[in-house]
Amino acid sequence: MSDWLTIALTAVYATTATLCVIRIVRGPGVLDRIVASDVLLVTLMCALGTEMAVNGHTANLPILLVLAMFGVVGSFAVSRFLVTASDPSRDDEAAAGHPSATNHTGGPDAR
């Protein structure tokens, strides 16, 4: 890769990371912070991939795989938490004994 492309990509990654950190700190809501942290993680992965391409090695590949795994699992866990925490109808149904609010296993006597 040429030097000007490396400098341009470094500037883009630095700008993206800076904007993501600002959004994580100032974000008006939890979802804004989660999206910004995911974008920051992807930016880090892209920077590591660019470094591997520039230097012609694959030593950072396990780090990329672990970061990708943490990004996916973390997003799923947080979204699962936010769905159950922000849905007031689930609390009302559970308090009223509504069958859809209970955990079903699919069996005939599941309740």
pLDDT for position 89:
66
Q: What is the pLDDT of residues 40-80, one digit of tens each?
A: 999 999 999 999 999 999 999 999 999 999 999 988 888 88
Token code pair at residue 85: 């925490």
Distance (Å, rounded) from C-alpha 48 to C-alpha 59? 10
Distance (Å, rounded) from C-alpha 36 to C-alpha 41? 9
pLDDT for position 100:
54
Query: Which tops the pLDDT comparison, 41 or 88?
Result: 41
Residue 27 has pLDDT above 70, yes or no: yes
pLDDT for position 23:
96
pLDDT for position 25:
96
Distances from the Cα of 28 to the Cα of 36, 76, 92, angstroms: 12, 21, 27
- What is the reported pTM? 0.72
Q: Where are the domains of the chain?
A: 3-85
Query: Which tops the pLDDT comparison, 45 or 3?
Result: 45
